[in-house]
Amino acid sequence: MSDSDLPEKRNMEILLVEDDQFVRETLQILIQSFGYGCDIAFDGFDAVEKLLKKKYDVVVTDVSMPKMDGLELLAHIQAKHEYTDVIIITGYSDKAGYAEVIKAGAVDFLKKPFEKEELQAKLHRVERERNMVQELEELSLRDELTGLYNRRYFAHKLEEEVGRAQRQGHQVYLAILDVDNFKGYNDAFGHVAGDEVLNDVGRILNTCTRRNVDFTFRYGGDEFAAILTQTDEEQAVKVISRVLDFFSRKKHGDTSLSVGLVRCLFMESMSWAENAEAMVHRADKALYLAKNSGKNQIVSNGEK
């Protein structure tokens, strides 16, 4: 088979739940021919187990199955996997109808027998709608000016990365950066020039950090933040030193960057909210020391 004969790879993982072996294998081949990844489950209980082990975008399930039927599985997914969509398949003898299935929370409905094109069209529609929702969610997490993640996403990402570090045994560092003398520069040269300073900070942060490993944010006003994962203090200082060096080359008047850099230490005796507050407080304290010790420098874990 040549590359041109292969189906277009699509960005959606599907779990097919069907107790009839022939139907299950036929539908799996069909779904894969559309370019989707497709795993199979033999019944509702098997599907529940597979959903614990892997994230699926869509579950396509028969409604009539022993032990746990499709509507019971749908209810489970609604309760435990809110970002997974469900398409229900019914036969002529099944009592469940379109209105009941949609009211129960399914995104679509197929009645046997159905044409290949009908299944493909429904999967494509779900994919388009999921992509649209994802794009809107992504926009809501981005700062409009710099394109960096915003403060709203910072709180979520800090919890996620510190939790991952706890499980995997690596270190996470938090840097909070402030543009020195920004107000005076903004007043003297105007908001357009001030926005260019902020955009430069954002671009430099993204240039100096690792994509999909480190995460950068506009924390608010002229403050920025970076979560540096899978690193140690020496490497974290090197990364932030590069940020300061690159920014100094931009020569935006007397502006510079002051940075508070701290290791994110999780205390089991405190709640996550208390831990997050403590991490940010330590970084803010280090930043304050950097600002009050001459600016244009990094204070790491309370020390210059």
Which residues have a catalytic role annotated?
222
d(CA 134, CA 136): 5
Q: Which amino acid is it at 218?
A: R
At position 139, the amino acid (one-letter code) is L
Q: How far apart, in whole angstroms, are the C-alpha atoms of residue 210 and residue 4? A: 34
- Long-range CB contacts (< 8 A, 24+ apart) of 291-296? 291/178, 291/180, 291/258, 295/180, 295/181, 295/256, 295/258, 296/180, 296/244, 296/248, 296/256, 296/257, 296/258
Q: Are 220 and 201 in contact (CB under 8 A)?
A: no
Question: For residue 258, what are the β-bridge partners?
Answer: 178
Distances (CA, A) of 76 to 16, 48, 71: 16, 8, 9
**DSSP structure string for 161-189:** HHHHHHHHT--EEEEEEEEETHHHHHHHH
Is residue 2 helix, strand or coil?
Answer: coil
Q: What is the DSSP letter of 221?
A: T
Note the helical H segments in 54-171. 70-80, 98-104, 116-140, 151-168
Order of strands across the sheet with 58-62? Answer: 37-41, 13-17, 58-62, 85-90, 108-111
How far apart CA 299 and CA 288 sit, in angstroms, is 9
